[in-house]
Structure 1
Amino acid sequence: MKNFKNILALTLVCVMACSCKKFLDLSPVSNANANNFYKTKADFEVAINSAYATLYTIYAPEEAASYGELRSDDATIGSVAGAQADKWAIRDYTVSASNTLIYQYWQEYYKSMFTINNILDQIQTAGLDPAYTARVQGEMMFLRGLYYYNMVQLWGGIPLVTKVVSADEAYKIMRSSEADTYKQIVADLKFAVANLPLANAVPAVGRASKGAAETVLGKVYLSLGDKTSATTVLMDVYNSNQYGLLTSYASLWGATVKNTKESVFEIQYLGGSASNPYSPYWTAFAPVTNGVITKYGGGINQVTDDLYNEYESGDPRRDASIELGYNDAKGNFVAIKFPKKWEDRTAPSSGTQELSNNNFMVLRYADVLLLLTEATGDPQYMNQVRGRAGVPAYGTAGYPSAKYGTLALALEHERRVELALEFHRWFDLKRTGRLVTVLSAKGKAINQNNQFFPIPQYVITQNSAITQNNGYN
């Protein structure tokens, strides 16, 4: 039986149609059919908002922290709510194909793909002006390229779905190779680069720009070992005069700090009301037992001593990124390290949630500069980031060259402390081919097979033609 009309567990759902000018202002449209709703620009703006709203799920703290940080050497968890065994298994590289969280992540990505692909399908025949059509296509291909890039790193080759398909059609879509998956990602992002405006000309806050697409494309090229192409697109971002480092690292963070010149692509949140898409990171990353700094802590993404000790003496980024603990209701200090970047201690609460206002930067300019050093082998870009932090430049007498004796090791260190807890560490180690070497040396039970997630067992049960990743059969 085709239970749930399974389409590779893509879960075809109607578009969550949303109105208003910004994708964070979510207002459902009743009785809208995703197959015939899109007729005017106003209709498409509603649909575009729903596509951007998928970011709230894809970059939700539990999801993104689980694979971006928890599987790395930067974060851990203790006693947490929900499927504890499944979370510990992700941390410890002991996951099985029946892990419920991994199936949840798979579903969330493919639900998002349906929303994106439906817009791409519909706009081709909508008869709207070509410039608007191309820009919308560029925005959707940016999101699709970004999501598929995450997925190919998590699962390897995946079923590529680039249009809305029926249940019967979906059963015929097998896993593509990693090479073909990357080929689709590059094609999507190149289209986005060619058709998206510069950051100062995007139609609304939070929408994708040419610089955002180029930044992701640069990472993709580096993942493919193509440093020449990566240099070209990243230098275009660098020379665009659209972005710059803020004067201090601490000024990047705060509940009211939004869409600064350093932000390349940022998820928009609006705190203060349970009816808004409020920011979930502060609650999720606070310790479970505190009951003081937040009404309820999620206990995920707790900071390891290994990360804390990575910072050089006097580096202000450590204290701007990591809390050492909290005072309990009796005034006693409880020592536990947890993220500080999304702190919002004055946020109102509703139930067990703090209605925080913090945005989340998926991409920022410091990331671009560090990627440029990775692509070019020139430390000048990395040294701009170090200069902002007030620590000695690579190549100078004060740099800790005894510990980071090569540019590659220096860059690995710099990305770790500059982008700490922002969901980059695991992806960085994988991109540079250092994942198994670094994490196995620190006691992680990682090998060449389990650096990928398994294909969820439910997917294979529904369609036995889908192959499983090595090590999970």
Structure 2
Amino acid sequence: MKTKIILSILFVTAIITSCKKSFLELAPVSNSNANNFYKTKSDFDLAVNNAYSTLYTMYGPTGLVSYCGELMSDNATLYTVAGSGSITVGDRWAFRDYTLNSANNVVNQLWSDSYVSLYNLNIVLEKITDAALDEGYKTQVTAEMRFLRGMYYFYMVQAWGDVPLVTKPITSGEAFTTGRTPKADVYNQVLEDLKYAADNLTAPDKVPAPGRASNAAALTLLGKVYLTMGNKSLAAQTLQQVYSSYNASTYDLLPEFGSLWGATLAQKNTKESIFEIQYKGGANNPSSTYWPAFAPFENFAITRFGGGMNQVTDDLYNEYEAGDKRRDTSFELGYFKGANWIAIKFQKKWKDANAPIVNAAESCNNNFMIMRYADVLLMLTEATGDVQYMNRVRARAGLPLYGTAGYPAAQYPTLDLAIEHERRMEFAMEFHRWFDLKRTGRAIPVLTAKGKLVNANKLLLPIPQFARDQNPDLGQNDGY
């Protein structure tokens, strides 16, 4: 059995410790001087694990990709929801309602979390350059850190547009004078990072441990970046490398959609998973919190503590075709509170009914898939217009194939609309929807038709006021 990597949050984790510190100058919490720490392979192994632990923040149930990918889309809503520290219920509702402003505490937190995470990557990249270590090891670490950095900036530039592009740890003085970089230049850095990662990361069967990035993960993300930039030709070439280079023993759809979801070892790191965040339930472990966080806030019959985040909209639920196996696998319709049935839709993909209770909440054992093979297939149809890839996804769902008599062509009369529908059904609540709609230019017509008060300006988050107070040259996005 392969030894799992548990991406513990270690003592080199960076946090904001004082309002006097810039959002870019984020020093590590440690009594050791960083210059003395990064010496041995063990030091770097520790730092690499710490860098991977930033995935828990960026992709957590209340992280940047979740807020944008689902809550700002037509998939998710909020009813009663928990606040947290300085973050109020209103701060969270503002994402759903498109009423954000620069003082929103969630926006502040997401911005800070992003630059804290980047610090952890950039310091490893800086220190490994001159380390007296094996060159192959140094290249592997550099490629992994650049993969993560490319991924984070990819989502940051979609969320904020122009952002400060920081590719090394910088001083306080530098931070206060670092302005926003045009998004075209940020995308160029994303491409450079992901190309380097694709060229230098190992094949999937050679990664150091489950949860570490492979060249296939870098190629998959690079293909998505090309699609987002409107270059379908390069997207197709890149994604075909994943599709053609690995046989079904490495990557394939699992026979049943339901086999993807659960907390057992057999449901982790399967041949459908291309890049997956590793969790392990129980005390003193990094545990998955998606199931309780996305359960209704008042729901104490299903989970010990429901966070109320990303509740499922009727609009999403009702779009599933009759006979689609994915719908009932993905959602609960409600729960009993005593003898009373509470009708409210919420996800169950990350359900862990046997999770132990730690600090009054479930400590779940589910992993989270950032990229899976179904995404490669659907992106290939988007990039090439060839429906064979999408039809593999539909076949698993038990549905008529596109182009056959049974396909609901009246609802989805074009291939573009068919892909949009299929991606929504396949990846519901997996943080794709808003980014998909933005990529295809469909966000405004789709969301306004469903009552969202959205326009072109509101498809970007505001630059946080606290960051602008530190550096007025950051400016502000239009509309805020």
Normalized against structure 1, the TM-score is what? Answer: 0.94
Q: What SS does structure 2 have at the residue aligned with 1:282?
A: helix
Q: Determine whether 1:149 maps to 2:157.
A: no
Matched, 1:298 2:292: no
Task: Kindly indicate whether residue 291 of structure 2 is the aligned counterpart of residue 278 of structure 1.
Answer: no
Give the aligned partner of residue 132 of structure 2: 127
The one of 343, 354, 361 equivalent to 2:351 is 343
- Measure how far apart 1:353 and its partner are: 1.2
Contact 1:80 1:298 in 2 (8 A): yes
**Aligned mate of 1:12, from 8, 11, 26:** 26
Following the alignment from structure 2 to structure 1, what is the Cα–Cα distance between the partners of residues 82 and 308?
8
**Alignment CA distance shift 1:5-1:290 (3 Å):** closer
Quote the Cα distance in structure 1 between the aligned partners of 2:464 and 2:309.
Answer: 23
Match of 2:176 among 167, 171, 175: 171
* Residue matched to 2:12: none
Matches within 5 A, 1:246-285: 246-256=254-264, 257-273=267-283, 275-285=284-294
Residue 479 of structure 2 corresponds to 471
Counterparts in 2 of 1:302 and 1:11: CA distance versus 1, 3 Å = farther
The equivalent residue for 1:380 is: 388
Moved more, 348-357 or 109-118: 348-357
Q: Distance in 2 between matches of 1:92 and 1:35?
A: 46
Deviation at 1:11, TM superposition (A): 4.6
Q: Secondary structure at the match of 1:69?
A: helix
The 5 A counterparts of 1:360-399 are 360-399=368-407
Equivalent position of 1:354 in the other structure: 362
Cross-structure match for 1:62: 62
Aligned positions of 1:69-80 closer than 5 A: 69-80=70-81
Distance 1:347 1:43 in 2: 33
**1:85 and 2:93 are equivalent in the alignment:** no
C-alpha separation in 2, matches of 1:11 and 1:167: 5
Identify the match of residue 322 of structure 1 among 325, 328, 331: 331
Task: Give the superposition deviation at 1:34.
Answer: 2.6
Alignment partner of 1:40 is 2:40: yes
- Paired residues of 1:283 and 1:354 also in contact (CA < 8 A): yes
| 1:35 counterpart SS class | helix
SS in 1 for 2:345: strand
CA distance in 2, matches of 1:263, 1:32: 37
Tell me which residue corresponds to 1:425. Answer: 433
Shift of 1:333: 1.7
SS in 2 for 1:265: strand
Distance across 1 between alignment mates of 2:291 and 2:230: 36
Q: Per the alignment, in what secondary structure is the counterpart of residue 465 of structure 1?
A: helix
CA distance, structure 2, for counterparts of residue 141 and residue 44 of structure 1: 15
Say whether residues 1:137 and 2:138 are aligned partners. Answer: no
Asked whether the equivalents of residues 11 and 107 of structure 1 are also in contact (C-alpha less than 8 Å), the reply is no
Classify the secondary structure of the residue corresponding to 1:61. coil
Instruction: In structure 1, list runs of 5 or more residues that go unmatched.
Output: 16-29
Q: Does the alignment pair 1:184 with 2:189?
A: yes
Number of aligned residue pairs: 453
Residues 334 and 345 in structure 2, CA contact (< 8 A), matched pair in contact too = yes
Tell me by how many angstroms 1:122 deviates. Answer: 0.3
Cα distance in 2, alignment partners of residues 11 and 356 from structure 1: 34
- Mapped to 2, the partners of 1:208 and 1:33 lie a distance apart of 29
Kindly state the Cα deviation for residue 43 of structure 1 after the two structures are TM-superposed.
1.1
Task: Read off the aligned partner of 1:120 and give its amino acid letter.
Answer: L
Following superposition, the deviation at residue 5 of structure 1 comes to 4.3
SS at match of 2:111: helix
Deviation at 1:81, TM superposition (A): 1.2
Which ranges of 4 or more aligned residues in structure 1 deviate by more than 6 Å?
none
Q: Which residue of 2 aligns with 1:99?
A: 104
- Cα distance, 1:293 vs. partner? 1.0
Deviation track 1:136-175 (CA, whole Å, cap 9, x = no partner) reads 1100000000000000000001000001110111122211
Deviation string, structure 1 residues 333-360 (Cα, Å, up to 9, x no partner): 2110000100112211123310110000
Matched AA of 2:47: A
**Counterpart for residue 311 of structure 1:** 320
Question: Aligned runs of 1:444-463 on 2, under 5 Å?
Answer: 444-463=452-471
**2-structure distance, mates of 1:13, 1:85:** 31
Amino acid at match of 2:136: A
Secondary structure of 2:35's aligned partner? coil
Residues 6 and 462 of structure 1 are in contact (CA less than 8 Å); yes or no, is this contact kept in structure 2?
Answer: no
In 2, the alpha carbon distance for the partners of 1:400 and 1:167 equals 58
Give the conservation status (yes or no) of the 8 Å contact 2:282–2:358: no
Gap regions ≥5 residues in structure 2: 1-17
Q: CA deviation at 1:65?
A: 2.5
How far off its partner does 1:13 sit? 2.6
**Other structure's SS at 1:144 match:** helix
Q: Give the C-alpha shift of residue 444 in structure 1.
A: 0.2
Distance 1:471 1:283 in 2: 35
Distance change (3 Å), C-alpha of 1:302 and 1:33: same
CA contact under 8 A between 1:14 and 1:33: conserved in structure 2? no
State the alpha-carbon separation in 1 of the partners of residues 113 and 331 from structure 2. 30
Structure 1 position 31, deviation (Å): 3.4
Cα displacement string for residues 307-345 of structure 1 (whole angstroms, at most 9, x for unaligned residues): 0011000101000011101111x2322110000100112
* Matched residue SS, 1:269: coil
SS of the residue aligned with 1:72?
Answer: coil
Aligned position for 1:437: 445
Residue from 205, 222, 227 that aligns with 1:222: 227
SS of corresponding position for 1:361: strand
Please tell me the residue identity of whatever aligns with 1:375: A
**2: distance between equivalents of 1:326 and 1:369?**
35
Q: Is the counterpart of residue 112 in structure 1 residue 120 in structure 2?
A: no
Matched letter for residue 267 of structure 1: I
2 CA distance for matches of 1:65 and 1:116?
A: 21
Instruction: Encode CA deviations 1:26-82: one digit per residue, 9 max, x unaligned.
Output: xxxx73333321111111100000000011111110123221101000000111111
Code of the aligned partner of 1:10: L
Supply the distance in 1 between the matched residues of 2:24 and 2:54 (Cα, whole angstroms): 14
Q: 1:239 aligns with which of 240, 244, 256?
A: 244
The CA deviation string for residues 109-154 of structure 1, in whole angstroms up to 9 with x for no partner, is 1001111000000000002222111111100000000000000000
Query: Aligned partner of 1:360: which letter?
Result: F
CA RMSD of aligned residues (A): 1.1
**One-letter amino acid matched to 2:362:** E
CA–CA distance in 2 between the matches of 1:234 and 1:202?
20
Q: Is the 8 A contact 2:25 2:170 kept in 1?
A: no
Q: CA deviation at 1:418?
A: 0.3
Q: Which moved more, 1:60-69 or 1:256-265?
A: 60-69
Question: Bigger shift: 164-173 or 138-147?
Answer: 164-173
Query: Counterpart of 2:78 in structure 1: which amino acid?
Result: I
